[in-house]
Homo-oligomer: A and B are copies of this chain.
């Protein structure tokens, strides 16, 4: 049997010059959403998530931590047999809140919020030590333990989030007070860590500072931050192992790790030698994000190859159909190839958010549509599911099936996910466009307008579309004066038939399309309109046969959106619904559901009661139930259940029904919330 070779290698081997031809994202400050899916979500984050989380932080004592000169109260979250306490990460939670809140300020001034952020920044500045150090936990509770357990204690991770917050705050408001703090902190970190004599060759157990330092480099132009990020990335996993030495210095056995292995923190091998996505999923995504940034910013083809290998491993063996990742609660991360259980899927919100970060950086480095496809998949599904429609409830883990017992919460002892999905949504404008010399990249489609300069000419880009509920997109292009550039228009990988017209004239896509993008180079002028029409039928998705949980099942997808069946919309518990392979699936927009969403319907079957029971297998059940097949369409009464034996030889009867599917990310906003992405095929 002839088996064609995979062409991944030829397609993905970059030259350093390719890698250097990096697009830069158009900042979030330039893009405003209008209606559609994202404008209401940004409003929910602004109006609800931001104040709600602030109130939760106050109630749970997070802000008290900033008062480092007061003696600490009892540790609110004890260690409980773990090597760390969630209190050690509170700085990062505060930082992510500042970052999220800052993003909302850019397009929606709010003097009270602005003042509240300033107040927090001032508190942080006051708490910063004279040498530049800032970490409320160690300043206040364990000053002697600074930098003594990088493996478990998230010190540099917290620093990273503070840096991200500072850059966001400055971009959104122009205020540099927090940037001043983090520059001093980063400069101090640069004295402590590095390859020089007397410096520590350490790095954080939880990657984050790396990508943050790269942001700081891009914002300040100071190359030393890029170098420090590169040091942390390249030092990771080297022998002799820093975490070994550090544990010995603490008088501990390096092997006695709570999480068992260095795979957990992706420090089992030097990053350039890593070939499998392993360990804690969020750590992995943050590390790979920094690697992708460095590959682009430094023209580092070797590092890019490592990213590509890891990308292929993740996307061909270890990713949920929703773009969720990290199936196991045990290590909050990866397990084995094709191990993707649905009901127990951990698939942390932060991990899918992290995949958006990584995919975005790979996209900017390579401008290959496969990264945009994955960015969009994770964004619309595995990440968005972490936030309720009203912005006030959250998921930490995002299973792909539930019997109704997995519900959104309003507070969690490890509250990392809410501000993470919040900051992503609040800054989503920054993922829409990119610019490179002579090029504008259009990566996402959504009703919006953007204003940014191209070759010094101010450009207004307006998207009119009902995407993702419809595949018709109108892009009006209004440069201040006529200007020539290439419009690099994404043709999603899920689309089998796309058409483009420019000012009403058809544009031949075939010769212009490369790696998922159509390049339309022309002299653009006011009033130009590009119309993109993406065929967007509802489709059945099948998983690889090695994914045990999905064999005999089908998922429904339309455009970038993965759907699920939720009990509230259907007339039987979801586990009893079965979809015949031949049943047509129709797409609708239902303005009355969940604020308006695309829905899918199909004729299907309910597996119900057998026509009669079989007492042989069910000695406790007495006489058989003679009732005929239930022809009704009403939700069945629980009391009906008792008349059917627990086990019998008669196959269960089925009755016809119509199944209704909603976007996966919208589930658990109503009752009852039994849910399944993968539907049994009849």
A82 lies within 8 A of chain B by Cβ: no
Give A156-171 interface residues, CB cut-off 8 Å to B: none
| CA–CA, A361 and B551, complex, Å | 43
| CA–CA, A627 and B546, complex, Å | 17
A238 lies within 8 A of chain B by Cβ: no
A294 lies within 8 A of chain B by Cβ: no
Closest to A371 in B: B619
Give A626-644 interface residues, CB cut-off 8 Å to B: 626-628, 641-644
Closest to A682 in B: B552
* B370, B403, B620, B625: the one within 8 Å of A619 (CB): B370
Q: Please tell me if the beta carbons of A619 and B7 are within 8 angstroms of each other in the complex.
A: no
Q: Please tell me if the beta carbons of A680 and B619 are within 8 angstroms of each other in the complex.
A: no
Give A515-548 interface residues, CB cut-off 8 Å to B: 539-548
Q: Please tell me if the beta carbons of B8 and A493 are within 8 angstroms of each other in the complex.
A: no
Q: Please tell me if the beta carbons of A545 and B6 are within 8 angstroms of each other in the complex.
A: no
* B315, B542, B581, B609: the one within 8 Å of A649 (CB): B542
Give A606-658 interface residues, CB cut-off 8 Å to B: 607-610, 615-623, 625-628, 641-652
Closest to A309 in B: B620
A1 lies within 8 A of chain B by Cβ: yes
Q: Please tell me if the beta carbons of A319 and B646 are within 8 angstroms of each other in the complex.
A: yes
Closest to A648 in B: B542
Which stretch of A214-222, A461-469, A570-578, A595-603 is in the interface?
A570-578
- Note all chain B residues with C-beta closer than 8 A to A403: 339, 548
| CA–CA, A551 and B676, complex, Å | 14
Q: Please tell me if the beta carbons of A647 and B578 are within 8 angstroms of each other in the complex.
A: no
Q: Please tell me if the beta carbons of A649 and B617 are within 8 angstroms of each other in the complex.
A: no
Proximity string of chain A (642-681) to chain B, C-beta cutoff 8 Å, 1 when within and 0 when not:
1111111111100000000000000000000000000010
Closest to A557 in B: B617
Closest to A318 in B: B646
- Note all chain B residues with C-beta closer than 8 A to A539: 649
Q: Please tell me if the beta carbons of B651 and A542 are within 8 angstroms of each other in the complex.
A: yes
| CA–CA, A643 and B646, complex, Å | 42
- Note all chain B residues with C-beta closer than 8 A to A541: 617, 647-649
Closest to A495 in B: B616
A544 CB to nearest B CB, Å? 5
Known A-B contacts A81-B81, A539-B649; A620 and B680 likewise in contact (beta carbons under 8 Å): no
A4 lies within 8 A of chain B by Cβ: yes
- Note all chain B residues with C-beta closer than 8 A to A609: 545
Closest to A1 in B: B627
A508 lies within 8 A of chain B by Cβ: no
* B1, B551, B626, B646: the one within 8 Å of A316 (CB): B646
A413 lies within 8 A of chain B by Cβ: no
Proximity string of chain A (1-12) to chain B, C-beta cutoff 8 Å, 1 when within and 0 when not:
111111110010
Q: Please tell me if the beta carbons of A545 and B652 are within 8 angstroms of each other in the complex.
A: yes
Kindly report how many copies of this chain are found in the complex they form together: 2
- Note all chain B residues with C-beta closer than 8 A to A2: 627
Q: Please tell me if the beta carbons of B578 and A552 are within 8 angstroms of each other in the complex.
A: yes
| CA–CA, A314 and B581, complex, Å | 37
Q: Please tell me if the beta carbons of B649 and A616 are within 8 angstroms of each other in the complex.
A: no
| CA–CA, A514 and B189, complex, Å | 85
| CA–CA, A391 and B623, complex, Å | 41
Q: Please tell me if the beta carbons of A542 and B652 are within 8 angstroms of each other in the complex.
A: yes
Q: Please tell me if the beta carbons of B319 and A540 are within 8 angstroms of each other in the complex.
A: no
Q: Please tell me if the beta carbons of A317 and B544 are within 8 angstroms of each other in the complex.
A: no
A338 lies within 8 A of chain B by Cβ: yes
A172 lies within 8 A of chain B by Cβ: no
| CA–CA, A8 and B575, complex, Å | 29
A286 lies within 8 A of chain B by Cβ: no
- Note all chain B residues with C-beta closer than 8 A to A312: 620-621
| CA–CA, A552 and B579, complex, Å | 12
Give A304-322 interface residues, CB cut-off 8 Å to B: 311-317, 319, 321
| CA–CA, A347 and B260, complex, Å | 28
| CA–CA, A406 and B389, complex, Å | 40
Q: Please tell me if the beta carbons of A4 and B316 are within 8 angstroms of each other in the complex.
A: no
- Note all chain B residues with C-beta closer than 8 A to A208: none
- Note all chain B residues with C-beta closer than 8 A to A578: 552
Known A-B contacts A622-B11, A649-B542; A607 and B6 likewise in contact (beta carbons under 8 Å): no
| CA–CA, A628 and B2, complex, Å | 9
A332 lies within 8 A of chain B by Cβ: no
A275 CB to nearest B CB, Å? 13
Q: Please tell me if the beta carbons of A544 and B625 are within 8 angstroms of each other in the complex.
A: no
Q: Show 25 A/B contacts (Cβ-Cβ < 8 Å), sorted by A.
A: A4-B625, A8-B621, A8-B622, A315-B619, A315-B621, A316-B621, A317-B646, A338-B641, A339-B403, A373-B619, A493-B616, A494-B616, A496-B616, A541-B617, A541-B649, A542-B648, A542-B651, A544-B641, A545-B644, A545-B652, A551-B576, A551-B680, A552-B607, A554-B651, A555-B647
Instruction: Known pairs A339-B403, A373-B616; list 18 more (Cβ under 8 Å).
Output: A4-B625, A6-B643, A8-B620, A11-B622, A312-B620, A315-B619, A316-B621, A373-B619, A542-B647, A544-B644, A544-B645, A544-B647, A545-B576, A546-B644, A548-B575, A551-B607, A552-B552, A557-B617
Q: Which residues of A contact B (CB under 8 A)?
A: 1-8, 11, 81, 311-317, 319, 321, 337-339, 344, 369-371, 373-374, 403, 493-496, 539-548, 551-552, 554-555, 557, 573, 575-576, 578, 581, 607-610, 615-623, 625-628, 641-652, 680
Closest 7 CB pairs of A and B: A370-B619, A315-B620, A8-B622, A548-B575, A312-B620, A6-B622, A493-B616
